[in-house]
Structure 1
């Protein structure tokens, strides 16, 4: 990547924010342009600095992440926003996506997933946290959030549909191969093509897509 990603962090927990900032500031392709301790400070800060991506907590004093996201995207339509969430904030994650966020991460995400989220969102993809629960996937599907906006319907073979269902049920490539009598390598090839067709990057994205397009039913995930 030739150009640095200008990134701003907003979180009212100083220790978490400083730790995240330190990790990100060590990345060659990321330029940390600022930190904010609440939503209002975040909005004000973006009047004085330019950012490509904002990573913001959902619950903050003075102004929460959802309200800040709505205001920011009105003022800066090209800005990309990633929500930072705790485990019990599924309703707020959905609100953030509806407000225009491009993705979300649980706060216990590891370094590799955080960097992957930044890279994917910067490239204009939606990022679903790997730890997305079946309940949250279902809530996203039922919400006003529609990342796909397909112009044409995507077709899957019967074999791909079978593999999609098993991916959604959290089976590994090895386990899928044993169930449907294919080699692990063949299953991995199918999985790669499925992700490309859906334009998603991980299993969470497959689950959301499959639910939204009736490739699997919610009760089959439980």
Structure 2
């Protein structure tokens, strides 16, 4: 008997999300166990519902798909993540894969491609749309059109990412200290190290960086 794949849908457009749910529910070996509309809710739901695969949009409120993917994949026994997006540019694909996504499918793909992608990702394989696969192949061959410099954000520790996320959400150092159970002095130390690593000099710069690397949404 074929094992059922448990799927969590993460999509901020209600019509799109409901359409995907209806299509996947009609597929015998797929079960939609939850649906949410933002990245923060996705992280919580992934831990609470324990799906096999999270089908994740990129552009969402509160926390975008890259940031949500990163947080989900950091958990123990984390589900696999399949990005389902309308964006196929390198600036979207590479961060998503670095964050831990196992697949990247474009929204213009057919239902059969989506079902296949979910099954492949659930089985521990990777699945990419042809355009995305080409980008990754070029990268593996060293054929990038523009040589990428290492992203300074990659050097941030997990705690520094937590602090930067809260700064991006508009929290003050005392508020962050209370949320994380740390002293204000410790939070200020983290902020100083984050600024040094990212090359910014004020709170506005930290907020821009938090948005750029997907820790918070520009709509927050």
Residue 46 of structure 1 deviates from its aligned partner by 2.2
Counterpart of 1:44? 44
- Alpha-carbon separation, structure 2, partners of 1:139 and 1:14: 35
Q: How does 1:55-94 map to 2 (within 5 A)?
A: 55-94=55-94
Counterpart of 1:35? 35
Contact 2:12 2:38 in 1 (8 A): yes
Contact 2:88 2:132 in 1 (8 A): no
Q: Does the residue aligned with 1:75 lie in a helix, a strand or coil?
A: coil
- Alpha-carbon separation, structure 2, partners of 1:12 and 1:139: 31
Seen in structure 2, the aligned counterparts of structure 1 residues 109 and 76 have a Cα distance that, compared at 3 Å, is farther
Superposed CA deviations along residues 125-175 of structure 1, whole A, max 9, x for unmatched, are: 11111343745642465589xxxxxxxxxxxxxxxxxxxxxxxxxxxxxxx
Contact 1:85 1:93 in 2 (8 A): no
Matched residues, number: 144
Q: Does the residue aligned with 1:46 lie in a helix, a strand or coil?
A: helix
Seen in structure 2, the aligned counterparts of structure 1 residues 16 and 137 have a Cα distance that, compared at 3 Å, is farther
Residue 86 of structure 1 deviates from its aligned partner by 1.2
Q: How does 1:1-222 map to 2 (within 5 A)?
A: 2-132=2-132, 134-135=134-135, 137-139=137-139
- Gaps (5+ residues) in structure 2? 143-147, 151-220
Q: Does the residue aligned with 1:47 lie in a helix, a strand or coil?
A: helix
Q: Does the residue aligned with 2:105 lie in a helix, a strand or coil?
A: strand
- Alpha-carbon separation, structure 1, partners of 2:88 and 2:119: 26
The higher-RCO structure (CA 8 Å, 6+ apart) is: 2
Q: TM-score, normalised by structure 2?
A: 0.60
- Alpha-carbon separation, structure 2, partners of 1:119 and 1:57: 18
Contact 2:46 2:79 in 1 (8 A): no
Q: TM-score, normalised by structure 1?
A: 0.59
Superposed CA deviations along residues 176-217 of structure 1, whole A, max 9, x for unmatched, are: xxxxxxxxxxxxxxxxxxxxxxxxxxxxxxxxxxxxxxxxxx
- Alpha-carbon separation, structure 1, partners of 2:14 and 2:23: 14
Residue 78 of structure 1 deviates from its aligned partner by 3.6
Superposed CA deviations along residues 108-127 of structure 1, whole A, max 9, x for unmatched, are: 11011111101111111111
- Alpha-carbon separation, structure 2, partners of 1:50 and 1:134: 32
Residue 68 of structure 1 deviates from its aligned partner by 0.6
Residue 70 of structure 1 deviates from its aligned partner by 1.0
- Gaps (5+ residues) in structure 1? 145-222
Q: Does the residue aligned with 2:51 lie in a helix, a strand or coil?
A: coil
